[in-house]
C-alpha cells in the first residue's frame, strides 16, 4: 500500500477483469520516469485478517507492465471510508466503524496488503520449459481480444496457431462494446432537457428585422 500514489496500479494483466483501453497519452510518473498506462480494469486482492482471508476489490486500476511492483492507493481507500491504524502491530486497515479489514505486513521496506511468496518465485528453475512442459494458458476470446488491443477474429486465430502457451476457450469471435462504438458511423445521443422554472433561469431572445422608413 502506498500513501503517495493517486491511483491503483497493477503490473500483472492476468489478474485484471473488466479491462478497457486507456485514453490516448495516459501515463503516470515514477520519479522522473514516464510510465505508460496500457489499460484499466478491476483487480481482486486476497488480504489477511484476524478472521482469515478476505477479498478486497479494487476498481479503476491502471495496468502498467513496466512498473516493477503493484500499488494500492491509500488516498483512494481513505476517500472510501477506510483508515490506516499505524498504532497497532502489525498495522491494520480498518473500516469507518473501526472494524478490521486487512492486516498489512511490513516486508522489503514496504507495507504489503497481499503477501506473496516472492522467494519461491525468485528461485532458479531446475527445468527449462519446453513444448511438453510449458503450461498452456486458457482464456476466453474476449480476454485475449482486450489484451492484444482489440484485434479481429482472424488475428486471434493466427495467435493460437502461431504462438506457444496460448489457448483460447471457445470460438475466437468476440462481441466487444468498445469496438462496436468505435466503428459506428452515427451515434444517437439524446440529452434530456432540463426544464427551468425559477425566475431569471430562462431567457428568450427574439431577433426582428426592421425596414427603415423612407
| pLDDT 10s digits, 51-62 | 888 899 999 999
Q: Is residue 209 very low, low, confident or very high in pLDDT (cuts 50, 70, 90)?
A: confident
Whether residue 197 is contained in a domain is answered as no
Is residue 19 domain-shared with residue 111, that is, in the same domain? yes
Is residue 61 domain-shared with residue 102, that is, in the same domain? yes
Full domain range(s) for residue 86:
9-116
Is residue 155 domain-shared with residue 100, that is, in the same domain? no
Whether residue 151 is contained in a domain is answered as yes
Whether residue 3 is contained in a domain is answered as no
42-92 tens-digit pLDDT: 999 988 888 888 899 999 999 998 888 889 999 999 999 999 998 888 889
110-142 tens-digit pLDDT: 888 887 755 434 443 444 444 444 444 556 677
Is residue 112 domain-shared with residue 146, that is, in the same domain? no
Per-residue pLDDT at 82: 92
Beta strands in the chain (DSSP E): 9-10, 16-20, 27-30, 33-36, 39-49, 52-63, 83-85, 92-94, 100-103, 105-107, 110-112, 137-140, 166-169
Q: Tell me the pLDDT of the chain averaged across its residues.
A: 77
Whether residue 83 is contained in a domain is answered as yes
Is residue 47 domain-shared with residue 96, that is, in the same domain? yes
Per-residue pLDDT at 74: 92
Is residue 92 domain-shared with residue 18, that is, in the same domain? yes
Per-residue pLDDT at 202: 72
Is residue 17 domain-shared with residue 59, that is, in the same domain? yes
The three-state (H, E, C) secondary structure of 80-119, written as one string: CCCEEECCCCCCEEECCCCCEEEECEEECCEEECCCCCHH
Is residue 15 domain-shared with residue 112, that is, in the same domain? yes
Is residue 112 domain-shared with residue 145, that is, in the same domain? no
Whether residue 1 is contained in a domain is answered as no
Q: What is the pTM of this model?
A: 0.54
Is residue 82 domain-shared with residue 169, that is, in the same domain? no
Whether residue 211 is contained in a domain is answered as no
Is residue 144 domain-shared with residue 92, that is, in the same domain? no
pLDDT of 106 higher than 80: yes
Rounded to an integer, the average pLDDT of 134-155 is 66
Least confident stretch, 127-131, 159-163, 180-184: 127-131
Which residues share a beta bridge with 168?
139
Whether residue 34 is contained in a domain is answered as yes
Whether residue 194 is contained in a domain is answered as no
For residue 86, give the nearest of 67, 70, 106, 66 by alpha carbon: 106
Cα distance from N-terminal residue to C-terminal residue, the chain = 82
Is residue 111 domain-shared with residue 17, that is, in the same domain? yes
Count: domains in the chain: 2
3-13 tens-digit pLDDT: 888 899 999 88
pLDDT of 207 higher than 50: yes
Amino acid at each position: 500500500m502506498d500513501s503517495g500514489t493517486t491511483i491503483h496500479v497493477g503490473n500483472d494483466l492476468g489478474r485484471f477483469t473488466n479491462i478497457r483501453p486507456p485514453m490516448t497519452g495516459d501515463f503516470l510518473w515514477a520519479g522522473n520516469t514516464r510510465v505508460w498506462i496500457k489499460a484499466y480494469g478491476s483487480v481482486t486482492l486476497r488480504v489477511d485478517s484476524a478472521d482469515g482471508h478476505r477479498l478486497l476489490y479494487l476498481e479503476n486500476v491502471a495496468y502498467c507492465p513496466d512498473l516493477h511492483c503493484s500499488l494500492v492507493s491509500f488516498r483512494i481507500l481513505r476517500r472510501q471510508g477506510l483508515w490506516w491504524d499505524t498504532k497497532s502491530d502489525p498495522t491494520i486497515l480498518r473500516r469507518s466503524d473501526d472494524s478490521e479489514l486487512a492486516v498489512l505486513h511490513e516486508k522489503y521496506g514496504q507495507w504489503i496488503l497481499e503477501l506473496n511468496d516472492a522467494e519461491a518465485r525468485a528461485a532458479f528453475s531446475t527445468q527449462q520449459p519446453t513444448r511438453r512442459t510449458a503450461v498452456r494458458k486458457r482464456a476466453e476470446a474476449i480476454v485475449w481480444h482486450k489484451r492484444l488491443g482489440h484485434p479481429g477474429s482472424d488475428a486471434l486465430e493466427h495467435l493460437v496457431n502461431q504462438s506457444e502457451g496460448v489457448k483460447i476457450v471457445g470460438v475466437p469471435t468476440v462481441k466487444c462494446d468498445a469496438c462496436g462504438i468505435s466503428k459506428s458511423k452515427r451515434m444517437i445521443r439524446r440529452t434530456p432537457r432540463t426544464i427551468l422554472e425559477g425566475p431569471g433561469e430562462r431567457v428568450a431572445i427574439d431577433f426582428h428585422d426592421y425596414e427603415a422608413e423612407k
